[in-house]
Amino acid sequence: MSRAERLLQLMQALRRRRHPVSGADLARELGISLRTLYRDIAALQAQGARIDGERGVGYVLRPGYLLPPLMFSDEEIEALVLGSRWVADRADAALAESARNALAKIGAVLPPHLRLDLETSGLLVGPGQVVACDEQALAGLRAAIRSERKVQIQYRDEQGRSTTRVVWPFALGFFDRVRMLVAWCERREGFRHFRADRIDAQIVLEQRYPRRRQILLEEWRRIEGIDPS
């Protein structure tokens, strides 16, 4: 059994249990020595797994951790690289840095041959020019979407006319040139699309909007005829 397969089996063994399990029981189940088990536990913890416990007491995996990307296929690696490179090249500075960090974390846990594929991928993002918009504003909109909070925006239309609106932001579309906020507009009482570069000012309000983001997104997709897959 390879080390990658062993770590995967260890994660699965911990995931199946709601209560602490002793190191001896885990080692017996996996057919490894206690010394190897302790080393593997430490490796998973270093990768971000929330494994609580200590020798002689037992171990438990806390919720919220996804399996490390140890078993990606070649095409999955290519998809991750291409997507991360697009974000790093086209998104605002905060998202671009996060994309590079995510790719580095993935590379850190891959087997050597897959790490080489990731680092030497021949899939490239072509040059493009994005319409400039306030990067801090984009970060604020993403935060409002995550927390499902209303936002007051000062919006300028194609004719240069400015209006103040309160919207319920639930999606942000990253097109090749523009960023498009998708939201429920209280003024229009319906779904509207707002170019981020035309939002001249915004205030994230304390008030949360009354419907869940996922419900709004599903309804918008249905109205627009967008396949959720």
Sequence spans of domains, the chain? 3-61, 74-119, 135-224
Q: What is the pTM of this model?
A: 0.65
Query: Any idea which fold 135-224 has?
Result: SH3 type barrels. (2.30.30)
pLDDT, mean over the chain? 87
CA distance 25 to 29: 6
What confidence score (pLDDT) does residue 203 get?
96
**What's the residue count for the chain?**
229
Q: Is 82 exposed, middle or buried (0-12, 13-18, 19+ CB in 10 A)?
A: middle
CATH architecture designation of domain 3-61: Orthogonal Bundle (1.10)
Q: Is 188 exposed, middle or buried (0-12, 13-18, 19+ CB in 10 A)?
A: exposed
- The pLDDT tens digits for 125-158 are 887 777 778 888 898 999 999 999 999 999 999 9
What confidence score (pLDDT) does residue 229 get?
58
